[in-house]
Structure 1
């Protein structure tokens, strides 16, 4: 079957979810290189997916402390359309701020005010999703009911971006959401299965508390759902649409 933009988007998402749930593997690295090659073959329509693959390879290199490889892949990503100046202010990238090669590739990026607003939101949402997942896991410790909580997600923005680099960050958020939801569900199913087994073999199981735990969990789920819906991205009126250099390197505070 011939590759399409949509099929490669799905493949990138799949690889990023695998990285988020299982960590880096030789297979995931090979998969990203394969995405770059296949996206290149698509021509101009696939250029931003080349950037997506190169970005992920650069992120992996940063995580392993491989500065030369990181700069190589990130330079290729910027050449293909990466302009995520917010990501470049996350803690793992800060040591690269002193590298002239990294400074040079950063200075080549261009973005609009409106797209920069969305980048801040996308990265903030990744942080909030991780926090929600952690809180949900803590809240579910000791639950005696057999229910399962689904981690709510804020909707991915659907506005037409001015730069295709925004699509890369959207895939990152979507993959983060999926990976965190899968991890939360796995733990919840383990707890639920254990409680179901107890209900079958142990007459001392506390049904009253289980019902109370279920109601409390439903309340928390509703609160998280409302909070996620309220976090939906809203485009700022009057946000600029002119391509501008990214804010100076070191001037952005990465979302906490």
Structure 2
């Protein structure tokens, strides 16, 4: 099959979903896959540059988490050269040990961004945190439910604005992967609970149907509340947000969303 930007973006998404879902067990597969994406995206020329950046950024993240400083800096430098500019991501806790490295400081200073894109970067990372918190809360809320309904995890819509820099596309991929992985985890747990309750209701004469109906009503209320909250979180571009490329905020000045 001939590689395209869309096919390689889909591949990156699959790799990131696997990493989020399987954790350390998927590091080897993800690393090999991202190296392959970099090679294939490079062959696409300028149209594939942002995917080259995405691959190197992912490899840099993995190297950083594993304490491989030289490899982390190498891949992040290559990512910046290919258009990576998510200065918010470079302030996550795992990246802070690199902040004193002169090589890291140099690559950070090369990045350029617009205020409009910076606003979206903050939103994308904030949404990743909210999604994770929502998934954890949903698992708590569903403990002990006796009904057989299934509650999906509502997600805020992905921004549709035309970004000023291609680096935004990379972080949109990161968010999309997080959304997919968390949704899969939540739905797996929900189907297990639902099927278990269905089986028990068929074999247990003392099944509390009144409680099950109440749980279903309560779950519907929570689902509606989460859906409204997700819709309300949709990204809104600030009127007048700058679209001129400028240096990123000084290293260390950004508070990563919590």
Superposed CA RMSD? 0.7
CA distance in 1, matches of 2:32, 2:202: 46
Which residue among 219, 225, 245 is the counterpart of 2:247? 245
Structure-to-structure mapping, 1:75-86, within 5 angstroms? 75-86=77-88
CA displacement, residues 14-57 of structure 1 (integer Å, 9 cap, x when unaligned): 11000010123322211111111110010000000000011111
Q: CA deviation at 1:66?
A: 1.0
Which residue among 202, 209, 231 is the counterpart of 1:200? 202
CA distance in 2, matches of 1:96, 1:225: 38
CA distance in 2, matches of 1:40, 1:173: 23
Q: CA deviation at 1:63?
A: 1.1
CA distance in 1, matches of 2:225, 2:160: 24
- SS of the residue corresponding to residue 237 of structure 2 reads coil
- SS of the residue corresponding to residue 25 of structure 1 reads helix
1:213 equivalent in structure 2: 215
Q: Are residue 22 (structure 1) and residue 22 (structure 2) matched?
A: yes
Dislocated runs of 4+, deviation >2 Å: none
CA distance in 2, matches of 1:215, 1:3: 48
Calculate the TM-score normalised by the size of structure 2: 0.98
Calculate the TM-score normalised by the size of structure 1: 0.99
For structure 1, the 5+ residue unaligned runs are none
For structure 2, the 5+ residue unaligned runs are none
2:75 equivalent in structure 1: 73
Q: In the alignment, is the contact (CA less than 8 A) between 2:27 and 2:62 conserved in 1?
A: no
CA displacement, residues 203-242 of structure 1 (integer Å, 9 cap, x when unaligned): 1111110111011001100000000000000000110011
CA distance in 2, matches of 1:202, 1:69: 58
Q: CA deviation at 1:201?
A: 1.3
2:229 equivalent in structure 1: 227
- Structure 1 stretch 18-27 or stretch 95-104: which is displaced more? 18-27
Structure-to-structure mapping, 1:114-193, within 5 angstroms? 114-193=116-195
1:5 equivalent in structure 2: 5
2:103 equivalent in structure 1: 101
CA distance in 1, matches of 2:146, 2:91: 42
Q: In the alignment, is the contact (CA less than 8 A) between 2:17 and 2:180 conserved in 1?
A: yes
Q: In the alignment, is the contact (CA less than 8 A) between 2:155 and 2:227 conserved in 1?
A: yes
